[in-house]
Structure 1
């Protein structure tokens, strides 16, 4: 079964809030999400093209594991926690399945 990814793209428009957002995500949200989802691993990125864009990516063993994580009660709680702490940060979510891996 191919790996599956859950990607959350957040837009932090207020540059003065980005450092606090980054610290909160690293200290609280990412560890909570990885544990709650049962993700294999996760990555976070800030865009160099648009400094307001933050991406978090969670890897799952397969599509079924991703579905269990994103359709369970923890997803609702994680969204509520995010909305409570960052009500002005908009997000989009995307689910991906690995089509091909090339290289080392």
Structure 2
């Protein structure tokens, strides 16, 4: 079963959301996918809370996910994110797909 790494960011300042969206799409997402070696990724903006952005990266197994999120490249992604978007809080989660219909 595939594993998913989920990063949730809250961009509270509405005036920053467009720039954040462009940066994530053009810079961060491609860099993260290359660093992680993930097979697929998705991005979402919440319709319930427009400040919530979520990125999901798919991995074939837990070992591949662990290598990606515990490696030096992940540390650099965090540093770059914090430099470009100081004060934007994030949470991270690891999920496993248990059913697909």
The TM-score range, normalised by the shorter chain, is over 0.9
Offset, 1:100? 1.2
Normalised to the residue count of structure 1, the TM-score between the two structures is 0.96
Give the aligned length: 101
Matched, 1:91 2:90: yes
SS at match of 2:42: strand
Gaps of 5+ in 1: none
SS at match of 1:16: helix
Gaps of 5+ in 2: none
What is the CA RMSD across the aligned residues, in angstroms?
Answer: 0.5
- Aligned runs of 1:17-96 on 2, under 5 Å? 17-96=16-95
Q: How far, CA to CA, are the matches of 1:67 and 1:82 in structure 2? A: 20
Q: List structure 1 runs of 4+ shifted beyond 2 angstroms.
A: none
Q: How far, CA to CA, are the matches of 2:14 and 2:83 in structure 1? A: 19
Normalised to the residue count of structure 2, the TM-score between the two structures is 0.98
Q: How far, CA to CA, are the matches of 1:44 and 1:97 in structure 2? A: 18
1:14-61 CA distance string (max 9 Å, x none): 000000000000000000000100000100000000000000000001
